[in-house]
Amino acid sequence: MVNSGFEQKRFEVILNGLEDLYFSKTDDKKVMASMDQMLPSIYSSMENNMDLVDININLNNVINSKLDWHRPRETFDLLLDANT
């Protein structure tokens, strides 16, 4: 998040949200399909010795059908803005 330029206020919102964090399995086929579609990009980036931080930043800027054709980073920014 530091490499993505997050402000201190946003870190605080994220850390406060971690109190309610939980993980679960998904059976949503759109989520699974979008993850599968990311794999070739990830593998290619790794083969080209791309830094993992840069790979993550790139993936967060790829338009995603599950997010109504928005980028994950944009959606995350909107959620953070609503809570700051």
Q: What is the pLDDT of residue 17?
A: 79
Number of domains in the chain: 1
Residue 3 falls inside a structural domain: no
Q: Which amino acid is at 36?
A: D
Torsion of CA 55, 60, 65, 67, to 10 degrees: 160
Residue 67 falls inside a structural domain: yes
Output 11 or 70, whichever has higher pLDDT.
70
Question: What is the mean predicted confidence (pLDDT) over 52-69?
Answer: 90
pLDDT band at 45 (very low <50, low <70, confident <90, very high): very high
pLDDT band at 79 (very low <50, low <70, confident <90, very high): confident
Question: What is the mean predicted confidence (pLDDT) over 35-41?
Answer: 91
Residue 16 falls inside a structural domain: yes
Residue 2 falls inside a structural domain: no
Range of the domain at 56: 8-82
